[in-house]
């Protein structure tokens, strides 16, 4: 009995020679499409404003009692960093980059004074982002339509004397988002180095913003680290002042009483003068003790004030970093070439359209 055998389907083979021949045969089409792609991509990318980038690196002092010494060395041998886990601060350096999410920190940059390298711009960072930015000319129709239908509430700025960073107008919120996109904070978990990266359409403004962010970050860290010590210092300062006033008043009463009874030898007067002298001595001792505590609190403020090391200062960038015009044009021509080639050989690749 004969068995019916079905033929095994053969895999379809793509003829690369035929495809190459077809591409060479239609090379004139490539000349046209690539020329069009080159011209259009150049026109488009020339309308996109150029930007400059710079960065600064900062190493803040970290109060850590367990990260060093024998315990720290043993932990490091197991791949653990006690510096990230044990600290007397509620806000560790790892959380510093999250400051850019806080409206109060971001809006504090609205008033930064900036000036352009050519001297034509000299205003605040807020006004620079709001009115001095070069726009993509191809997006101008969309921007014009947005401005046309913008309400009065959308255009409200920071002119109000009761500015609330947590209740921003739509325009102020857009400016804050623009600042967040132009400024990036990052931290190296191993070394604790904080990197501040800034972007702007002018190289000098880029550096000014980087320096201002670094100063604000240092002030924030210093204020946070010394907050408790400064509160204690103000408290002891108030107590020491009150104790000094009480001592001065008691001493004046004692001096007046003593002068008024110089020639009187009554026992009752002597006892009263002794009581006043003892009271004056107690108040003097209290004032001395509080003065000592005040000096200790003042020293504590200095002790808690962190030291900062600027590893890399922000420099005025020489060359723009974006957009990459040559790469963009080459990329568009690359896509155009493969798109045209795919259009020519789509039937040879057994695609159905």
- Answer yes or no: is 194 within a domain: yes
DSSP type of residue 265? -
Residue 140 has pLDDT above 70, yes or no: yes
Residue 209 and residue 108 share a domain: yes
Can you tell me the distance from the alpha carbon of 118 to that of 15, in angstroms, rounded to the nearest whole number? Answer: 60
Nearest C-alpha neighbor of 220 from the set 60, 88, 55, 54: 60
Residue 84 has pLDDT above 50, yes or no: no
Residue 239 and residue 209 share a domain: no
Taking CA atoms, 206 is separated from 120, 239, 353, in Å, by: 15, 47, 51
- Answer yes or no: is 4 within a domain: no
- Answer yes or no: is 246 within a domain: yes
Stronger pLDDT, 89 or 210, i.e. the higher one: 210
Residue 215: predicted pLDDT: 92
Look up the domain containing 292 and give its range: 230-303
Stronger pLDDT, 131 or 160, i.e. the higher one: 131
- Answer yes or no: is 9 within a domain: no
Residue 284 has pLDDT above 70, yes or no: yes
Please report, rounded to a whole number, the percentage of residues in the chain having pLDDT higher than 90.
42
- Answer yes or no: is 121 within a domain: yes
State the chain's mean pLDDT as an integer.
Answer: 81
Residue 183: predicted pLDDT: 95
- Answer yes or no: is 338 within a domain: yes
pLDDT in tens, 185-241: 998 888 888 999 999 999 999 999 999 999 999 998 888 888 989 999 999 999 999
> How many domains, in total, are found in the chain?
3
Residue 334 and residue 263 share a domain: no
- Answer yes or no: is 3 within a domain: no
Q: Give the predicted TM-score (pTM) of the model.
A: 0.73
- Answer yes or no: is 6 within a domain: no
Residue 29 has pLDDT above 80, yes or no: yes
Sign of CA dihedral 114, 116, 120, 121: negative
């Amino acid at each position: 009995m004969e068995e019916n055998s079905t033929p095994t389907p053969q895999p379809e083979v793509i003829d690369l020679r035929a495809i190459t021949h077809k591409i060479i045969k239609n090379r004139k089409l490539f000349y046209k499409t690539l020329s069009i792609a080159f011209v259009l991509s150049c026109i488009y990318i020339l309308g996109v404003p150029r930007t400059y980038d710079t960065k600064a690196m900062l190493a803040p002092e970290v109060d850590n009692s367990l990260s060093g010494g024998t315990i720290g060395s043993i932990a490091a041998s197991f791949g653990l960093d006690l510096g990230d886990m044990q600290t007397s601060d509620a806000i560790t350096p790892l959380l510093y980059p999250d400051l850019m999410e806080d409206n109060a920190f971001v809006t504090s940059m609205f008033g930064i004074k900036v000036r352009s390298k050519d001297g034509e711009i000299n205003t605040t960072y807020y006004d620079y982002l709001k009115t001095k930015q070069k726009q993509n000319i191809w997006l101008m129709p969309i921007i014009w339509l947005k401005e046309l239908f913008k309400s009065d509430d959308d255009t409200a700025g920071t002119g109000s004397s009761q500015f609330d960073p947590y209740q921003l107008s739509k325009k102020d919120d857009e400016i804050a988002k623009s600042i967040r996109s132009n400024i990036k904070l990052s931290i190296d978990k191993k070394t604790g180095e904080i990197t501040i990266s800034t972007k702007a359409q002018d190289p000098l403004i880029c550096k000014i913003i980087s320096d201002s962010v670094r100063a604000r970050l240092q002030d924030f860290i210093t204020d946070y680290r010394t907050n408790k010590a400064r509160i204690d210092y103000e408290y002891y300062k108030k107590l020491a002042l009150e104790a000094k006033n009480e001592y001065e008043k008691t001493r004046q009463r004692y001096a007046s009483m003593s002068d008024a009874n110089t020639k009187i030898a009554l026992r009752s007067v002597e006892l009263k003068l002794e009581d006043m002298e003892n009271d004056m001595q107690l108040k003097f001792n209290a004032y001395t003790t509080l003065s000592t505590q005040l000096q200790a609190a003042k020293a504590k403020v200095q002790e808690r004030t962190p030291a900062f090391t600027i590893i890399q200062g922000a420099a005025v960038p020489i060359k723009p970093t974006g957009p990459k015009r040559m790469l963009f044009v080459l990329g568009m021509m690359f896509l155009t070439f493969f798109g045209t080639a795919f259009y020519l050989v789509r039937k040879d690749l057994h695609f159905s359209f």
